Amino acid sequence: MKINWGTGIALFFSVFVLSLVYQVYRTTQYDHSLVSDDYYADDLRYQEHYDKLANAQALAVDLKIQYKRNKNEVEIHFPEGFEQLGGKIVFFSPVNHRLDFRLPIQPDAEGVQYIPTDQLPEGNWKLKVDWTGDGKKFYKEQSVRL
């Protein structure tokens, strides 16, 4: 079977258009979501975040985040000397943003907060502790492998 030049050009453009349509279809199936829903608002609040990091680094005793595998819990030890502690703890999953969740800061009398992890899937988690103590704001972020 012999193909003339007109049929060859028609076949070439048909294959080209079909591959283009396939690529457009594939890009509509991809999740293009940002890491944070409020990405641009978070960017504008960067100076406040920088001040929180500077306050946390200036502490004599740093906030300690420890994962206790035998107890299936995360322990967060807040520095001593703060009367009023508040804020939030964010569990951030780099793998799936649907697994992210927030908890309020509610330490016990010794300044330790225990968070059970037996219901969480194994993997890497990033803990973001955004806390206030005696009117000052602090921030610490640490990766934890469950």
Per-residue pLDDT tens for 39-72?
A: 788 788 888 989 999 999 999 999 999 999 999 9
Q: Where would I find the beta strands (DSSP E) of the chain?
A: 64-68, 73-77, 85-92, 101-104, 112-116, 124-133, 136-145
Cα-Cα-Cα-Cα dihedral sign, residues 105, 110, 113, 116: negative
Look-up: residue for tokens 């907060």?
A: 113
Asked if residue 83 has pLDDT above 90, the reply is: no
Q: What is the pLDDT of residue 32?
A: 67
Q: What is the pLDDT of residue 34?
A: 60
Say whether domain 39-145 belongs to CATH 2.40.10.10: no
Q: Domain limits of the chain?
A: 1-30, 39-145
Tokens encoding 101: 């969740």
Q: What is the pLDDT of residue 44?
A: 80
The predicted model gives 121-144 an average pLDDT of: 95
DSSP labels, 48-65: HHHHHHHHHHT-SS--EE
Q: What is the pLDDT of residue 54?
A: 95
The predicted model gives 84-98 an average pLDDT of: 92
pTM above 0.85, yes or no: no
The predicted model gives 74-81 an average pLDDT of: 94
Q: How far apart, in Å, are the Cα atoms of 70 and each of 124, 131, 144?
A: 17, 27, 15
The predicted model gives 120-140 an average pLDDT of: 94
CA-nearest of 139, 145, 143, 142 to 42 is: 139
Asked if residue 18 has pLDDT above 70, the reply is: yes
Least confident piece of the model among 31-45, 50-64, 78-92, 104-118:
31-45
| Average pLDDT of every residue of the chain | 91
